[in-house]
Structure 1
Amino acid sequence: MVHVARLGERRVPFVQRAHAAEVVAQWSEDWPDRTAEVEEWDRGRWERKGPGGVRVAVRDQMPERTVVFHARALFVPGGERATTGLPDRWSVPAWDFETDAYTSRPSVWRTVRLPGAGQEVEANARGTDQEAVEAAFAEACAQAVGRAQNPGKYGDTDEW
């Protein structure tokens, strides 16, 4: 048997039911408005119909979970910070199978010019160490201002 933690649309397979149940319980506590339950699949069904099939390893231990701190800001051409109406800092719990949200690094940051007529530059930072994320966010914002003021310096002129 494969014990599958169904977390919304995501399915995470486990060898032991206790691991799947623990992940479901924690997920339900973190996200009470989202579906979470344990399903039992035979291994053949998982390999044929599971997302990723045999490429997705059935876990034999508990996944890593951490709190990931995030920071985000938008800058318009000229370098002024745009008001988005969204929080610029937040934190969320994330599991290692949530590759879009999880990181084990203290901090990482990036800037990107967004497509569209507004040509805003977005600054992002995230990581497991709140102070490191704050420092990384300051660096990202400084680069985003530079990108917004001098798009040619960052190779953004082709998009203008």
Structure 2
Amino acid sequence: MTSRVLKDTAAKVGGLLWGTDETAGSAAPEAGQSPVPAELVIHVARLGERRVPFLHREHADGVVARWSEDWPDHIAEVEEWDRWRWEQQGPRGAGAIRDRAPERVVVFHARALFLPGGERVATGVPEQWSVPAWEFETDRYTERASAWRTARRPGTAQEVEAQVRGTDEVAVEAAFVEACAQAVDRAQNPGKYGDTDEW
């Protein structure tokens, strides 16, 4: 969210509440001063251990309602904070306050492990799964249809891992085939990928 958006929103709210005068429109905020009015209530969506602040109550309510459906065993509620409290205690201060509803996607994942000879390892966990992710969940959100990587895991087992994630299930499945093929090759030919330096 840009400073300009915050400033415009603050000006509109202030004008509706207090009216305007000629000097108010020409005054620029002081350096370091938040464009969000001090008296403004911040609607904070508490989602498990994460707190996400919104200017508008309906956006916070919408996220909390959907989060409750996705993760029924986790805390999901809306808290009301004043701006000062959020700037002092909230992560990333006023710059984190959102004035729009965030994007939500379903992210598809695939993962497989291979031994040095190329044999696939049974891990006892699903090789493919999907989870909902919001744009503020930077650890699991993505806009890409698919992306994959392989890596040799540290430790004496020398396992090679193939990982894929993306928003398009068909693209993820196709990428998983590619990732597994490279993982097998990497497991069988570690020098080709520079892995021998890690042994």
Structure 1 position 52, deviation (Å):
2.4
2:56 is aligned with 1:13: no
Structure 1 position 29, deviation (Å):
0.4
Q: Aligned residue pairs: how many?
A: 159
Match of residue 57, structure 1, among 96, 121, 132: 96
Structure with more contact order per residue of length (Cα contacts < 8 Å, sep ≥ 6): 1
Structure 1 position 45, deviation (Å):
1.1
2:48 is aligned with 1:39: no
Tell me the TM-score normalised to structure 1 length: 0.96
Name the SS for the 1:152 alignment partner: helix
Structure 1 position 126, deviation (Å):
0.8
CA RMSD of aligned residues (A): 0.9
Name the SS for the 2:124 alignment partner: coil
2:150 is aligned with 1:111: yes
Match of 1:143 in 2: 182
Structure 1 position 119, deviation (Å):
1.2
Q: Which has the higher helix share?
A: 2
> In structure 1, what is the Cα distance between the partners aligned to 2:168 and 2:44?
31
2:153 is aligned with 1:124: no
Tell me the TM-score normalised to structure 2 length: 0.78
Match of residue 113, structure 2, among 51, 55, 74: 74
* Identity over aligned pairs, percent: 74
> In structure 1, what is the Cα distance between the partners aligned to 2:153 and 2:78?
39
1:124-148 CA distance string (max 9 Å, x none): 1111111100111111111111111
1:89-142 CA distance string (max 9 Å, x none): 111111111111111111010111111111111101111111100111111111
- Name stretches of at least 5 consecutive residues in structure 2 with no aligned partner: 1-40
Counterpart AA for 1:63: P
List structure 1 segments (4+ residues) > 4 angstroms apart after TM superposition. none
Structural mapping, 1:18-33, within 5 Å:
18-33=58-73
